[in-house]
Structure 1
Amino acid sequence: MKPEDIHLSDWGRMLVGEVPASFYLEVVIRVVFIYLLLLLSMRLMGNRMGKTLTRNEMVAMVSLAAANGVALMAPDRGLLPVVVVAAIIVGYQQLFAWYAFRNKRFESLVLDDLSVLVEDGRLQLDKLEEGVLCRTQLLAKLRKQGIANLGQVRRAYQEANGNFSLITFEDETPRPGLSILPTIDTAFRDEQAKAPGQFACASCGHVQPAQQAPAANCPRCQAREWQPAVVQ
């Protein structure tokens, strides 16, 4: 289309386009075909495609969407290339899954691996940095699981698909740790029972015996800010 053919008052072109009316019936056929093709492709790629996606699965879905989008609306594009693209994507996805099942190193390389974000009530700051995950994000995830004190957490993992899984201490012994309640909610934080003679690093959650806030840096992360450890 030439620039001089474009007019803002040309509502017919903007709403209907330059295709014959019969093309809209063809669009219905294309939509049904592509819908069924996507449904079949996801079925062939396994049940995981209906859950949280890994990076590899996300790439497969984006590739399918990109291939289908053009054929859906362009009357000069056929549907057979979409079938070929879908077959290739499903094929390499199946191949990756097959080889990853047999090769742990390849699985970690392609599908990523889990990370230990919390270990025995202490944040693993290096793992947070590797995963480009901020402390606020992680603490929000923990609060969503009903955790208010970092000392309750034995392990917190970020799985390969990006989900978080949590393991708490099984015994009911109160464990001192860093309060993970929002700092703006001072009234709620004040209700938490304090652990006498215990202070927690505000950065990583390391607990250290002291009668008052330590003047020294945290031995784990070198942060200087300390908060009273809580046991609730």
Structure 2
Amino acid sequence: MKSFDLKRMAFDEMPPDFLLEVAIRSVYTFILVFLFLKITGRRGVRQMSLFEVLIILTLGSAAGDVAFYHDVPMLPVLVVFITLAALYRLVMWLMSHSEKLEDLFEGKPAIVIKDGEFAWEKMKAQNMTEFEFFMELRLRGVEHLGQVRLAILETNGQISVYFYPDDRVRPGLSILPQYCNERFEVIPEKGDYACIRCSEVLAFNAGTKAVCPRCKRQQWVKASTAKRVT
């Protein structure tokens, strides 16, 4: 076998006119996926649950195989699509009649901020990085956690945010990028400071070197009391 053989890299052992068959197979699988999404009444990708993502990935695998591999017949793939559509409908029906099954497939919403601070025990169990979480909050106009009365991580990965009115905003951890917030291990002046890890807010005197009682971290930022700009 010759290395960097352009003909082999482009066609392998397939004749050039196989490209036309690939195009036809691709149209075929596109139509199947389109019909599946129409039948199941799909929502946006951001609204998909874990179960629905699994169904779409399985469909994608079947569609990719039949589109590119000449030895994969087209009719069995149609059976795969029909079976998955029937399975999806069946699971949706079962979930509508069983809360336990719905929790198994869809998961449960989780409170991640309560009263301006992380619900730390629940936050640790969520498969979401601090960077992603803070970005989602910033996109909703949040500057610091003290503005947030309640935040719920929904089963589709989106975050529902409920705000305090301006006259009830409390000191909270700033969620602006790190370069916007100076961090301290020794408190420089008297005031309210937030733990950079778990968002616990405590009042300190100047010169204090404190360990967070919740997460045992020793870095703090000055708590923000900024009102929301709407």
Alignment equivalent of 1:60, drawn from 46, 55, 62: 55
> Which residue number in structure 1 is paired with residue 43 of structure 2?
48
Kept in 2, the 8 Å contact 1:117–1:124? The answer is: yes
Aligned length: 220
For 2:109, the aligned partner's letter is L
Measure, in 2, the Cα distance between the counterparts of 1:10 and 1:136.
45
1:205 is aligned to 199
Secondary structure class of the residue paired with 2:202: strand
CA distance in 1, matches of 2:78, 2:207: 66
Question: Alignment partner for residue 86 of structure 2, among 87, 91, 99?
Answer: 91
Aligned match of 1:105 in 100, 105, 119? 100
- For 1:133, the equivalent position in structure 2 comes to 128
Q: After superposition, where does 1:7-26 map in structure 2 within 5 Å?
A: 7-8=2-3, 10-26=5-21
Offset at 1:42? 1.4
Aligned-residue offset at 1:231: 0.8
Q: Is the 8 A contact 1:157 1:165 kept in 2?
A: yes
Structure 1 stretches lacking a partner, 5+ long: 1-5, 190-195
CA distance in 1, matches of 2:160, 2:98: 24
Q: What is the TM-score with the length of structure 1 in the denominator?
A: 0.82
Structure 2 counterparts to residues 1-232 of structure 1, below 5 A: 6-8=1-3, 10-48=5-43, 50-186=45-181, 197-212=191-206, 217-232=211-226
Q: Is the 8 A contact 2:46 2:158 kept in 1?
A: no
> Are the equivalent residues in 1 in contact too, given 2:174–2:181 (CA < 8 A)?
no
Per-residue deviation, 1:67: 1.2
Instruction: In structure 1, give the amino acid aligned to 2:14.
Output: V
Residues 1:99 and 1:9: Cα distance change in structure 2 (over 3 Å)? closer
User: Residue type matched to 1:168 in 2?
Assistant: F
State the identity as a percent: 31
Computed over aligned residues only, the root mean square deviation of the Cα atoms, in angstroms, reads 2.5
Residue type matched to 1:229 in 2?
Answer: A
Q: Which runs of 5+ in 2 are unaligned?
A: 184-189
- Residue aligning to 2:186: none
Q: Deviations over 1:161-184 (max 9, x none)?
A: 111221111343442222222332
- With 142-151 and 80-89 compared, the bigger mean Cα shift is at 142-151
Q: Structure 2-normalised TM-score?
A: 0.83
Q: 2: CA distance between counterparts of 1:213 and 1:231? A: 22
Q: Residue 23 of structure 1: CA displacement?
A: 2.8
Contact 1:201–1:223 under 8 Å retained in 2: yes
Judge which range, 206-215 or 124-133, deviates more: 206-215
